[in-house]
Structure formats: C-alpha cells, structure tokens
Amino acid sequence: MIWVDREANRLKERGLALEWADDMKTPSGRIHVGSLRGVIVHDLIYKALIGIGVKAKFSYVFNDMDPMDGLPTYLDKDVWEKYMGFPLYKIPSPEKNAKSFADYFAQEFISVFNSLNCNPQIIWSSKLYQSGKMDPIIKLILDNADKVREIYKQVAKADKPSNWFPYNPVCEKCGKIGTTNVHKWDGKHVYYRCEYHMVEWATGCGYEGKVEPIKNNGKLPWKLDWPAHWKAIGITVESSGKDHMSSGGSYDMAVQICSQILGIKAPDALGGYEWFTVGGKKMSSSKGIGSSAKEVAEILPPDLFRFLQVRTPIKTHLDFNPFGDTIPRLFDDYDRCLDAYFLKLEKNLPPGKNGEVLADFSRIIELSEVKPLPKNRIFIPRFRTIAGLLLSKTRNIEVAFEKQAGRKLTNEELSLLQERIRYAKIYLDKYATKKEDKVTTFTPNDNQKKFLTTLKKNLSGLKVEPSIQVDIYHKTTFDTIKKVGIKPKDAFSAFYNVLNGKPYGKKAGELITELGVDKVIKLIDI
C-alpha cells in the first residue's frame, strides 16, 4: 500500500461526516514549482478518501489579503515599489487580463495545477473576509488578546507588549495593510497607527485612526489568519512544508490557537511534507528565485510530472534536476509502473511480495492519471529511443516504432508517440548535454569547522542498529547544531558541501546512512 492510501485509511478511522482538504498560498509573484507539491498532496488525499467511500471536499485558498512584502525581480521597481504594503487584491494587475496583482499570478498557477488534474474549489481570502464569515472569529481573537500573547510567548518564544493586538487594519489614509499597528481594542473598534518604520519593505504614512475589525477593513496576522481560515471554512486536513511544521513554528502556534481560543481541533497535517526543489534550490515567489510552476511543468507531460509527485512519499525531499539522465530515467520508471498497471488490468499480477510491489506500481499510475488511462494494453514508445532517433535525424519515427511493434500504431498510440517526440525535443534542446553550474570550492568558517569537528566526534564510535540509523544520525546532527550554537543554515551549508560537494542534499540522517558513517567521518577530516 502506498503512502496516499495509508493516510486516507488512517483519516477514515476518524469517522468524520466530512473530510475537507485544503492548501493555501499567497500570490505575491510567479508561484514557484515547489508549491505544486502541496496542491498534489491534498488532491491525492482527497481522491483517495473519495475512493474509499469518505465524503470529502478539496479547496485552495489564495491569501490575497496579504500585503506585498517583496518586489519580484522581474517587475520594474520604479512602477511597482509604490504598492509595497498594499493588500495584494488591491494592487493592479501587471497585465490587463486579470482583476488584480494577486489574480494575475494566481490564475497562472491555477492553469498549471488544473493541467495536472487538480481541480480544487478556489477560495479568495479577500472574499472570505468580505463575506463577514471572519468577523466573529476576529472578535473572539481580539477579546482573547492576553491569551494570544501568552501563546506567542510559550510556543514561539516571542514576547508581545501588552498594547499589541492581533489585527492589521487597512490604513484609511494610505491604503496599506503591512504598516499598521493596533495598540487598543475597546470591544468594537481597534485603534491603530500607520507606522513609518514598522517594516523594512514598506513605509507607513503616520496616520492614526480607529476602525471596526470587520469584513475587508483589515486582516489577522498570518499565525492567527491560518487557523481562522480553518474555522471559517471547516477544514479538517491541511498539510504544509517543513518550515511551517518546525517546533515552535506556524503550525504549533495554530494548534494552540485552535484549542485554547477557537474551540476546534486543528486539521490533520499528515505530519507535514518535505520540500520539492529544482536543482536543490528552495524557491521564492516574490523574489523571483528558482523556477516557476509554469516553467517546470512545461518540461514534462502532465502525467509524468504528477507521477513524479505521487511516487515520492511526502516525508522524502524531492529534488528534480532536469539535466543529464534524469528525464529519460523518469520516463523509464513511469513505463515500468504502466506495465504493472496493464498486468493488473489483465489480472496477471504474480502472487506474493512481487505482486504486492507491482500492485503498488499500478496504484501510482492510477493516481497519476491526468487524461483517461488506457483500458487495454497499448504499445509504449520508449522515450530514450525517441531521443536517439531524433539525434540520428531519423525522418520517420512513426515507421521505426511500427516496425518495433510489428503493426500499425493505433490513434491512441500515435498520440502518445507525438507527445513524447515533443518533450524529447525539449529535453535534447535544453537538458541532455548541459551541465549544472560548477560549485565553487567551499571553505568552512571557524564556526562551521567547530560544528563539523564536533559532529565527527559525536558520530565516532556510534553503534547503531541498521533499522534506526537514519533517525539516530539525524538526531545526532541536530543535537550537534544545538550544542555548537551554530545557525542551522550555516551548519547544513558546511555539512552538504563537505559530504557531497553541493550546498544541498538529502536529509542529514539519510545522507549519513547512505554514505556510511565511516566515510562521513573521513570526509569531515578537515
């Protein structure tokens, strides 16, 4: 049984009348490909729940009430900088074909995940606030501001002053939401200042006023806005990336807000999911770092892109590097699973463990479906062969595969062949022979050296059962980071550069286990 079905069966045991899966994103620029992992994870859970008879819904929230807090590098600073701090839904679209800045970038992302057979109900945060559904939740949170401050202190280790209140009004003078600071709540109005220097990325106007915290007059801060959405919508399942799931992070805060103030149980987070990166780079929408969802989705057929996500358990870091042999190998893996799907259709799965493995392969194909899967076995033209024929400048690739099949290809087979020819041309043109940028020689600083030598010492002499090596080595690495007092970012930069010559890699425990602790100790010998 693959990870999706295990999670769906576990959720079914709760016996809820409705399971509502949801994901969220702030459309502050071109949405990076890493955000597709969340969409597909929740789509898979939703479909698996439906498949086992559980009533379920699936939605996607665009947090367009959030302020513009970062200017995308591909936009003209002289034109767009004046909108910093404004709610995204109030900022004009870069093109005339969208209602707002938020709508423009959201629609591009929607078109991508729709092409991957993900079709959630779209919820706009601005409309949710405007509807009034958030009003009683906002009042409840403001009435419990003392408790909110205590939760911040206990969970996030953040001290909030006694005159801090969890709400950001839209300034009635300048229209910004990212620069306002509420200092009083009288049960009906919040009293605020639009601060000149509250944040680095926007400047307030200095206006002081009061406003009712209703509808689109303002919004809750993120760590409260998230659980407020859960309550207002009725969400029961929402996972997120490991940055939100870290100890004392957004999810831990939200859980306490739910239990202590909102009177609901926080949605099941599925334990969180690992990042999806391209070439090891974590990406940012607003900063224009990394590859957009649209760009990466154009490299692969939609069913292959979805397959890449389905087959990878959510607790495993997924790094897609399109250069070299990655894409042909992915097609081979897909075809191997597709063959298992055909065996299942033909009721020819072997008995025993081998049959169970092939049944899982077949299930991966079923959940990777974008267009209807074949109802009978068809001839599958191998991607590697297509690429080879293109390189040899074979004029009629269709004839070459008909000879291989020993017959004329059906319309369905011809359509598949043409699709693979199109993507093989993209692969050959952009990724087949090009190399990744070379990594410059890494020299650890004094603090990084201390971390590495301490880690080497802590790993030396460890006798660990094979079944728990990954967990023990992972814990040892993080214990060393805490002991040395180094920032995790600096520690892992040194860790990965020394162990694999790149600034990124698998989870620490997985990499140490894969390399072997003795080899790791030798590599750390600095």
Blockwise average pLDDT, block size 10, the chain, 526 residues: 96 98 95 91 98 98 97 92 97 94 96 96 98 98 98 93 97 98 98 96 97 98 97 97 80 96 96 82 45 85 95 89 90 97 96 94 97 96 94 90 95 97 94 57 84 91 74 88 91 87 77 83 80
- Compute the half-sphere exposure of residue 331: CA atoms within 13 Å on the CB side of its CA: 23
pLDDT of residue 286: 44
Coil/strand/helix, residue 452: helix
* pLDDT of amino acid 289: 36
Domain ranges of the chain: 3-126+225-276, 135-219, 336-437, 446-523
Question: CATH number of 3-126+225-276: 1.10.287.3510, 3.20.20.150, 3.40.50.620, 3.40.190.10?
Answer: 3.40.50.620
The predicted pLDDT at position 281 comes to 57
Q: What is the pLDDT of residue 132?
A: 98
Return the pLDDT at 220: 98
- Residue 506, number of CB atoms within 10 A of its CB: 19
pLDDT of residue 466: 66
Q: Which residues of 371-402 are buried (b: 16+ CB within 10 A; e: fewer)?
A: eeeeeeeebbbebbbbbebbeeeeeebbebbb
How many residues make up the chain in this entry?
Answer: 526
- Sorted by sequence, the CB contacts under 8 Å of residue 317 that are 6+ apart come out as 274, 275, 277, 506, 507
What is the reported pLDDT for 438?
Answer: 42
The structure tokens listed for 299 are 């490299």
pLDDT at 70: 92
Backbone φ and ψ of 208, nearest 5°: -120, 135
Q: What is the pLDDT of residue 433?
A: 74
Residue with tokens 């969970």: 155
Amino acid at 197: H
pLDDT at 95: 92
In this prediction, residue 287 carries a pLDDT of 41
- Least Cα distance to 71 among 280, 284, 323 occurs for 284
Q: Assess whether the region 336-437 and the region 446-523 belong to the same CATH fold.
A: yes
Q: What is the pTM of this model?
A: 0.80
Give the dihedral of Cα atoms 256, 260, 262, 266; nearest 10 deg: 40
d(CA 423, CA 430): 11
**Architecture field, domain 336-437:** Orthogonal Bundle (1.10)
Q: Tell me, what's the pLDDT at 292? A: 81
Q: What is the dihedral of CA 31, 37, 39, 43, to 10 degrees?
A: 160
Strands 180-185 and 168-169, bridge-based pairing: unpaired
Q: For domain 446-523, which CATH number applies: 1.10.10, 1.10.3470, 3.30.360, 3.10.20?
A: 1.10.10
Q: Which amino acid is at 261?
A: I
